[in-house]
Amino acid sequence: MAKAPLSLDELSTRYGPHLNYKPPGGWQVQSGNQSEKLVKTHCCFCGQQCGIQLKVRDNQVIGFEPWEEFPFNRGMLCPKGVKRYLQGNHPDRLLDPLMRTAEGFRPASWDEALDFTARRLRELQEKHGPDSVAVYGGASLTTEKAYLVGKFARVALGTRHIDYNGRLCMVSAGTAYKGALGVDRAPNPWNDIAAAEVLMVIGANIGECAPITTDYIWRARDKGARLIVADPRFTPIARNADLFLPVRPGTDLALLMAMLHVIVRDGLTDPDFIAAHTTGFEKTVESVEPWNPRRAAEVTGVAPDAIERAAHWIGESRRAMLMHARGLEHHSKGVENCEAVVAIALATGNIGREGAGPIMITGQGNGQGGREHGQKCDQLPGQRSLTDPAARQHVAGVWGISPDDLPGPGYTAVEIMNAIHSGEIKGLLCLCFNPLVSLPDANFTREALERLEFFGVIDFFLSETAAHADVVLAGSLQEEEEGVTANVEARVIHIQKAVDPPGNARTDSAIVCDLARRLGRGQYFPFREPREIFEELRRASQGGIADYYGITYEKIDQQMGVFWPCPTLEHPGTPRLFEDGRFFHPDGKAHFMSLAWRESGDPVDAEFPIYLTTGRVVSQYLSGTQTRRIGALVDQYPEPKLEIHPRLAEQYGIRAGDWVTVTSRRSAITLESMVVRTIRPDTVLIPYHWPGDRSANRLTHRTLDPRSKIPEYKVSACKIEKAPHPRPAGPRPPSGGA
Amino acid sequence: MFGMEFYVDPSRCIGCQSCLKACEECDTHRGVSMINFDFVDRRESIATAAYVCWHCDNPTCAQVCPADAIKKYEDGIVGSSLKPRCIGCSNCVLACPFGIPKLVPEYEQMMKCDMCYDRTSVGKRPMCATVCPSQALAYVTPETIAATRREKPVNTFWFGNQKITTKVYMMAPADAGEIAIDVADYTWEGENELVPQAF
């Protein structure tokens, strides 16, 4: 049974989250002495992967210096990046493996913890078959670790069920780009943004979720570019929008189809480009024909002439870019949403050139690299398909196994949790993933975790999910192991090891390799350091779409990153795709898709009349496992608040600061209101970084996009009512436990 | 840092507060942030503004200091109060027309932005302007600002007949001259200097 031991209070007293405010030794310790070194590496948080120099003394990270020479961010950092260094010396760090006892957890030796883990996984597999255990990975892992986790699941465990938290992030965009363009990558380097004439940002709260990208957008505006922002909220970058489209949650596709309708109707297409480089345009034309701006306005709440203007600005420009993130992607029609964006770029010939293209803003730290090399349930290294016989042959050859021994595609992340809930999957090994906070319908997730017969976690803090584990293997922070990641531009960059893991904690890859040995598969995991994993990864990716063969750690350092594909050692890398008009499909063409409107999976009705959308704040990252432990970041936005328009608030007698119970078809939570004119009056927003009774994901639903299997976080139906203050006034206890 | 000037453009600010966090990390005042940051009116708007000390040519804070604890240096930087002299009286806090100085109770001392003296004096950019993701706070050459921005740098401010010129520039609309928001600055009362207006 994987019920959380101890009471929540006891768990949080021991394992946090506690708030760390000060560097090792306190603020009084001056830096700059002889024994100090600066390590040029990257931020551990989002997909921007900003360059940063970590200040290291006595095997501890004690601060940072901006790294102004790194071209992507040129020294710029968001508050998370500034304060990221406070994790290494954090009192909540796990310094030993932990084993479950009746009373809670006790520290254990590595031999005991690893032997137990290997034995339990094998017992379950022998009794219930190889697919009765699953592996969860994550997109904050270095690419070496992500590759290793995929290989571990398929070669050491022999299960087909391996997936990762990127499934919750932007797989819909990846699926759309792969289908339309043949490759899952933002086609343009970020410098192109500053060179655009028209920028449309749809479903991307750039100022808070990709802060450094703001500078690229402002630089484009400095040169006269026009900015279109489509969002249910007036996000920080909307303050300078030339055109703001307040799209109703779940209706982006109608907006985009109407824009395509106008582009076709008014002859704003690029017929030469379409004829020479694409197929299937007639399917798109046919599907947008009924979507005139007036009809779309009824659905989206965006004025017809605003839709006309957005379409004209893009269609009349040869340097238009369309940028999107989770707001467009977290939908049960997320793939169609992204296909529509790509279709606008293709139809107007805005692709493959400087300042022209559709770009997805990858969210997680290694969201790009972590999805390229075999951590996805249907994929092999190099962005290869697991069902492609040639791909299986190649990768099995590199791994020294028979392609027949390579399992087929397994379940996606949410489907794995469903199968745990139903009892089909009985064992789980999880790293870099906090599903109890990040999966939709959190009560269901908790029920599922409690049904596991064995649950092992590799983590550096005891996350809300890890509190349910039978064994927790104390792993490493990003700065404790060398490797590479690929940033938002698909620029492969070098993560330097700055310090050793503290106490008896070990590097993640050493833990995984040691576990493979104990499972009797050590011959396939001989790696002594990440560089050896990377060398094998290069060969495994060779000839694939995400070809890393020509990338080495040294080349990354020399060039300040290498953009894949990079097929040979002499190749400089590929900052911009499709410059020759060739796309990555076998026919060399981009493929238009048929677009079909459908309602969201949790529609509003008389009982649940309000749209609920979830989002993020600038000072927190993902499930908050790391950032809810950093004092300065918690102080900036301590608790989730309900953003609500004064017009809606007035209907329910809610005033600023009142507490409000929000009820969806799953559950209810109560939180403080924040009455603002910066959100649509029919919509409320809750940021999702918190667990337990403040978890937005207790309210969200489990509907998946049918192709990408991404959950629909961005639109649910809810009702609200004013609630009494839930506890006596005064500071809340630290936000701990499950 | 030679040739660099400090420019503040609230219209670029995204409210991320990276400047506040980075300021705390600076070696001369570790753990205390000297950035002034406001949500202008969060109920009505997402507008935010972050700013540093304006480093006045004739600093009011120093004029009103009874302990002579605030010094302006040769390069135009107005320092934080000198610890041995500051008596924590808050005259400067009340007098500064920009509302910059803060009394830090923990140290019983007025502290404010000193333009990262430890950094700028050795050729580094101030922490806040280095990390600022929107470059609402920028530390660059006047040539760079002129070449890259549509707005115009302004460093003359009026506060009810008090004309103040500063080392730090505010980015204002291209047709703006001096910044005055008090009717008194437009009101003729005899021989008083008035904000120039285009008639």
3-class secondary structure for chain B? CCCCEEEECHHHCCCCCHHHHHHCCCHHHCCCCCCEEEECCCCCCCCEEEECCCCECCCHHHHHCCCCCCCECCCCCECCCCCCCCCCCCHHHHHCCCCCCEEEHHHCEEECCCCCHHHHCCCCCCHHHHHCCCCCEEEECHHHHHHHCCCEEEEEEECCCCEEEEEEEEEECCCCCCEECCHHHHCCCCCCCCCCCCC
Which of the four pLDDT bands, split at 50, 70 and 90, describes residue B196? Answer: confident
Contact A125, A132 (CB under 8 A): yes
pLDDT score for B199: 54
Cross-chain Cβ contact A82/B27 below 8 Å: no
pLDDT score for A730: 52
Contact A354, A276 (CB under 8 A): no
Cross-chain Cβ contact A211/B45 below 8 Å: no
pLDDT score for A736: 43
Cross-chain Cβ contact B18/A636 below 8 Å: no
Cross-chain Cβ contact B148/A646 below 8 Å: no
Output the six-digit token pair for A211: 């802060």
Q: Which residues of chain B are within 8 Å of residue A78 when distances are taken between CB atoms?
A: 16, 18, 131, 133
The region, left, alpha or beta by phi > 0 then psi within -120 to 50, assigned to residue A341 is alpha
pLDDT score for A3: 63
Identify the closest residue of chain B to A237 by CA–CA distance: B14
In a domain, B54, yes or no: yes
Residues 6+ apart with CB under 8 A from B122: none
Q: Which residues of chain B are within 8 Å of residue A46 when distances are taken between CB atoms?
A: none
- For chains A and B, CB pairs below 8 A equal 113
Query: Which of A:313-352 have CB within 8 Å of B?
Result: none
In a domain, B42, yes or no: yes
Output the six-digit token pair for A94: 């796990």
Cross-chain Cβ contact B134/A214 below 8 Å: yes
Other residues' Cβ atoms within 10 Å of the Cβ of residue A115: 14
Identify the closest residue of chain B to A83 by CA–CA distance: B21
pLDDT score for B179: 84
Query: Which of A:645-664 have CB within 8 Å of B?
Result: 646, 656
Output the six-digit token pair for A102: 């009746």
Cross-chain Cβ contact A66/B45 below 8 Å: no
For residue B185, give Cα distances in angstroms to A152, A711, B159, B189. 73, 58, 7, 10
pTM (predicted TM-score): 0.96
Q: Is the pLDDT of residue B136 over 80?
A: yes
In a domain, B47, yes or no: yes
Cross-chain Cβ contact B22/A77 below 8 Å: yes
Low-confidence ranges of chain A (pLDDT < 50): 1, 735-738
Contact A605, A717 (CB under 8 A): yes
In a domain, B141, yes or no: yes
pLDDT score for B86: 96
B interface mutation test: which of A30, A43, A62, A82 has the most B CBs within 10 A?
Answer: A82
Q: Which residues of chain B are within 8 Å of residue A214 when distances are taken between CB atoms?
A: 12, 14, 133-134
Q: Which residues of chain B are within 8 Å of residue A676 when distances are taken between CB atoms?
A: 42-44
pLDDT score for A484: 98
In a domain, B137, yes or no: yes
C-alpha dihedral (A305, A311, A312, A318), degrees to nearest 10? 160
Identify the closest residue of chain A to B126 by CA–CA distance: A66
CA dist B58 and B101 (Å) reads 15
A218 touches chain B (CB under 8 A): yes
Identify the closest residue of chain B to A65 by CA–CA distance: B127
- What pLDDT, in 10s, does the model give residues B11-35? 999 999 999 999 999 888 889 999 9
Q: Is the pLDDT of residue B191 over 70?
A: yes
| Nearest CB to A79 within list B18, B27, B125 | B18
Other residues' Cβ atoms within 10 Å of the Cβ of residue A398: 17
Number of domains in chain B: 1
Q: Which residues of chain A are within 8 Å of residue B150 when distances are taken between CB atoms?
A: 222, 224
| Shortest CA gap B8–chain A (Å) | 14
In a domain, B168, yes or no: yes
In a domain, B198, yes or no: no
ipTM over 0.90: yes
| Nearest CB to A68 within list B130, B133, B149 | B130
In a domain, B197, yes or no: no
Q: Which residues of chain B are within 8 Å of residue A82 when distances are taken between CB atoms?
A: 18, 21-22, 25, 131
Q: Is the pLDDT of residue B198 over 70?
A: no
Identify the closest residue of chain A to B44 by CA–CA distance: A677
B21 touches chain A (CB under 8 A): yes
Q: Which residues of chain B are within 8 Å of residue A237 when distances are taken between CB atoms?
A: 14
Task: Identify the domain containing residue B108 by its residue range.
Answer: 5-186
Cross-chain Cβ contact A207/B134 below 8 Å: yes
A31 touches chain B (CB under 8 A): yes
Q: Which helix (H) or strand (E) holds A447?
A: helix A442-451
Cross-chain Cβ contact B30/A219 below 8 Å: no
pLDDT score for A34: 66
Cross-chain Cβ contact A678/B45 below 8 Å: yes
CA dist A253 and A333 (Å) reads 8
CA dist A607 and A371 (Å) reads 40
Domains and CATH numbers, chain A: 21-87 (3.30.200.210), 111-169+366-563 (3.40.50.740), 171-360 (3.40.228.10), 610-723 (2.40.40.20)
Nearest 5°: the CA angle A384, A385, A388 is: 110
Identify the closest residue of chain B to A73 by CA–CA distance: B133
Output the six-digit token pair for A215: 């500078």
Other residues' Cβ atoms within 10 Å of the Cβ of residue A693: 13
Cross-chain Cβ contact B16/A215 below 8 Å: no
pLDDT score for A615: 97
Q: Is the peptide bond before A565 cis (omega within 30 degrees of 0)?
A: yes
B154 touches chain A (CB under 8 A): no
CATH code, domain carrying B55: 3.30.70.20
